[in-house]
C-alpha cells in the first residue's frame, strides 16, 4: 500500500507519518481555529492540506498542495465559508499517491446529507474492499484508501448514519483515527487497537479533536482526554457529547514509534510526555551501550532529547556538534548522488570546533536505509573526529509499516538485510548500537515488552503485526502465482 513519495527526505531515509487530523464544533471562527491547529500538526504531513467547513446549510472545502502557511497564505480562507464546525487534514502520500484529488478531508453527498472524512492511518484491506465495491457499481473519485469508508457508509442498509458508519468500520482492517462531519455534528473515532492517536479538548464552548495535544496548546484549548481505542465520540450541534463502544474493549496496541519520532516532543501521548519518553530512551541506551567518548552529539533535531538523556546517564558532555540550517527548502528530485550529498551538507554542517580530535557519540532516532547516517558519519570524519560511535534511540527497523507510515519496502531497510556489525561497517562507524526493545518499553513506562501480548504496535521492529494484512497477502499470492514454474519452490 506504500508508494514512493517525492516529498520525503532527500532519499527516503526517514520514516514519515502519513498525516494529521483536526476538527472543531461549536466555535465562532471554526475555520481559523482549524487552520491554526493544522499548522501545529504540520510535522505529520507536509505535502498537502485541506479544510472542510459547515455553516448550518452547506459544506465548503479548500484544499491545496503544500504547507498550511502556503495553502492558506495570509489567512486566505475565501473558499471556506464561516461556520461553527470544521475539520482539516495534513498529509504525506502513501496509499493512493500524490495529487489534489487525494487531498483530504474527502467529501461526498450521501442520501442522509453531506459527509466529510479526515483519516490518519492506513486501511490494510482497502484494495480488496474497493474491488468488491467497484464490481457492485461504485465509482471512485480518488485513489485514496479513505474513500473506501465513504462507499461502505453509503451502501450500508442500517437505518441511522451512526449505525451505517459502525457497519462500515466493521468491514475495514488496519489503522484509523477519523474525524467525520455530517449536518448533525462530528464523529471522532479510533480503530479498536488504537494504533493511531486522537485526543479531545475544549475551547470555550467548543469541542476540538486532534492527532496530538500540542495543537490544543497552540489554539489555547484545554486537554480533556484521549479518545479510547475502539471508541466513537459523537458531538451534535447543541454540544451534547455521547460515547459509543461498538467494538467492545480489545487490548490496545498504540504505535510505539509515536514516542520515538512521529509526535512533537511537546505533545502528551497516552498520558506520557513525548519529550520525557525520548529523554528516557537515551538513558536506557546509555545503560545498555555506553562507550568511552568525549562528547555526545545529537543528529538534529530528532536525536536531541535522547542525546540529552544519554549524556546525563553516561556523564559524557552533551555538545552541539552538528548545526542544522532551518532555511533549506525541501528536496524533491536530485539529479545525482553528488547533488544529494551536497543537500545533506546544506541541511547539516559539522561544528568543527567541537568535533575535531574528539571521540564522539552520535545519537539519532532511527536508521532506515542508512544512507543519511553514512553521510553524517563521513561529515564527522571530515571535521576531524577521532572516533565516531553511532547510537540509535529505537530498535533496528527491519519491517515495513502497513498502518499509515511511509516506509520503504522491506528489502530497502538496512536492518532487514544486515546485522548490527555489517550496518556499522556500511555507515563507517567505529561502533553501532540500538536500544533494545525492552529498553524502549521501559522508557515508555513498562517493565519490559510482554512477548505474549505486546502493549504496543511495534511491528516495524518485531515483525509482529497486530491485524490481518489482506491486501499484502493477496499481492504475495499473486506474485507467487506469476513466478515462472521453475522458480516456485
| Residue that has been written with the C-alpha cell 538485510 in this structure | 417
- Identify the burial level of 428 via C-beta atoms within 10 angstroms of its C-beta, where 0-12 means exposed, 13-18 middle and 19 or more buried: middle
Burial class of residue 458 in the structure, from the number of CB atoms within 10 Å of its CB (0-12 exposed, 13-18 middle, 19+ buried): buried
96 DSSP 8-state letter: B
Distance of CA 341 to the CA centre of its chain: 26
CA atoms within 13 A on the CB side of 57: 2
Please list the residues that pair with 86 across neighbouring strands: 24, 53
Contact 98, 47 (CB under 8 A): yes
Distance CA 265, CA 141 (A): 37
User: What is the rounded CA–CA span in Å between residue 48 and residue 89?
Assistant: 8
Catalytic residue among 8, 19, 255, 460: 19
Contact criterion met (CB below 8 Å) for 394 and 366: yes
The candidate with the shortest Cα–Cα distance to 209, out of 192, 227, 193, is: 227
For residues 375 and 311, the answer to whether their CB atoms sit within 8 Å is no
Cα gap 297→319, rounded to integer Å: 5
19 is catalytic: yes
C-alpha cell at 179: 474525524
Rounded to whole angstroms, how far apart are CA atoms 254 and 247?
A: 16
Residues 404 and 122 sit within 8 Å (Cβ to Cβ):
yes
CA–CA distances in Å: residue 94 to residues 8, 128, 442, 461:
11, 17, 31, 20
Dist. CA 19–CA 141, nearest whole Å? 20
Nearest to 151 by CA among 110, 99, 192: 110
Q: Tell me which residues are annotated as active site.
A: 19
Amino acid at each position: 500500500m506504500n508508494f514512493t513519495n517525492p516529498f520525503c527526505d532527500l532519499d527516503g531515509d526517514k520514516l514519515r507519518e502519513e498525516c494529521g487530523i483536526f476538527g472543531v464544533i461549536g466555535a465562532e471562527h471554526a475555520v481559523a481555529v482549524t487552520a491554526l491547529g493544522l499548522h501545529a500538526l504540520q510535522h505529520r504531513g507536509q505535502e498537502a492540506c485541506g479544510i472542510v467547513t459547515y455553516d448550518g446549510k452547506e459544506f465548503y472545502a479548500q484544499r491545496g498542495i503544500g504547507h498550511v502557511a502556503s495553502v492558506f497564505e495570509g489567512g486566505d480562507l475565501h473558499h471556506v465559508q464561516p461556520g461553527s464546525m470544521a475539520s482539516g487534514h495534513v498529509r504525506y502520500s502513501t496509499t493512493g499517491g500524490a495529487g489534489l484529488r487525494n487531498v483530504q478531508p474527502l467529501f461526498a453527498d450521501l442520501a442522509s446529507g453531506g459527509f466529510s472524512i479526515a483519516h490518519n492511518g492506513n486501511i490494510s484491506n482497502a484494495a480488496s474492499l474497493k474491488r468488491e465495491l467497484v464490481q457492485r457499481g461504485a465509482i471512485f473519485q480518488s485513489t485514496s484508501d479513505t474513500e473506501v469508508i465513504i462507499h461502505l457508509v453509503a451502501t450500508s442498509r442500517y437505518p441511522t448514519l451512526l449505525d451505517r458508519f459502525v457497519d462500515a468500520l466493521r468491514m475495514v482492517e488496519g489503522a484509523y483515527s477519523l474525524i467525520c462531519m455530517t449536518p448533525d455534528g462530528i464523529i471522532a473515532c479510533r480503530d479498536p487497537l488504537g494504533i493511531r492517536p486522537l485526543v479531545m479538548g475544549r475551547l470555550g464552548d467548543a469541542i476540538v479533536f486532534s492527532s496530538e495535544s500540542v495543537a490544543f496548546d497552540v489554539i489555547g484549548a484545554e486537554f480533556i482526554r484521549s479518545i479510547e481505542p475502539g471508541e466513537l465520540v459523537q458531538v451534535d450541534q447543541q454540544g451534547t457529547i455521547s460515547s459509543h463502544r461498538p467494538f467492545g474493549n480489545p487490548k490496545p496496541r498504540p504505535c510505539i514509534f509515536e514516542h520515538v519520532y512521529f509526535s512533537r516532543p511537546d505533545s502528551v501521548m497516552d498520558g506520557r510526555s513525548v519529550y520525557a519518553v525520548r529523554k528516557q530512551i537515551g538513558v536506557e541506551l546509555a545503560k545498555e551501550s555506553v562507550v568511552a567518548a568525549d562528547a555526545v552529539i545529537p543528529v538534529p533535531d530528532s536525536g536531541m532529547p535522547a542525546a540529552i538523556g544519554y549524556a546525563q546517564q553516561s556523564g559524557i558532555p552533551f555538545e552541539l556538534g552538528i548545526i542544522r540550517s532551518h532555511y533549506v527548502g525541501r528536496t524533491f528530485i536530485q539529479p545525482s548522488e553528488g547533488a544529494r550529498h551536497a543537500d545533506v551538507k546544506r541541511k547539516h554542517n559539522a561544528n568543527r570546533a567541537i568535533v575535531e580530535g574528539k571521540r564522539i557519540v552520535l545519537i539519532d532516532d532511527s536508521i532506515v536505509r542508512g544512507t543519511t547516517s553514512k553521510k553524517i558519519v563521513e561529515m564527522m570524519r571530515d571535521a576531524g573526529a577521532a572516533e565516531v560511535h553511532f547510537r540509535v534511540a529505537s530498535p533496528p527497523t527491519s519491517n515495513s509499516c502497513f498502518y499509515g507510515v511511509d516506509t520503504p519496502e522491506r528489502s530497502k531497510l538496512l536492518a532487514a538485510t544486515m546485522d548490527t556489525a555489517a550496518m556499522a561497517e556500511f555507515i563507517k562507524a567505529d561502533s553501532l548500537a540500538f536500544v533494545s526493545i525492552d529498553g524502549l518499553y521501559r522508557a515508555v513506562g513498562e517493565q519490559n515488552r510482554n512477548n505474549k501480548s505486546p502493549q504496543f504496535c511495534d511491528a516495524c521492529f518485531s515483525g509482529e503485526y497486530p491485524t490481518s494484512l489482506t491486501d499484502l497477502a493477496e499481492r504475495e499470492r499473486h506474485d507467487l502465482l506469476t513466478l515462472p514454474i521453475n522458480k516456485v519452490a
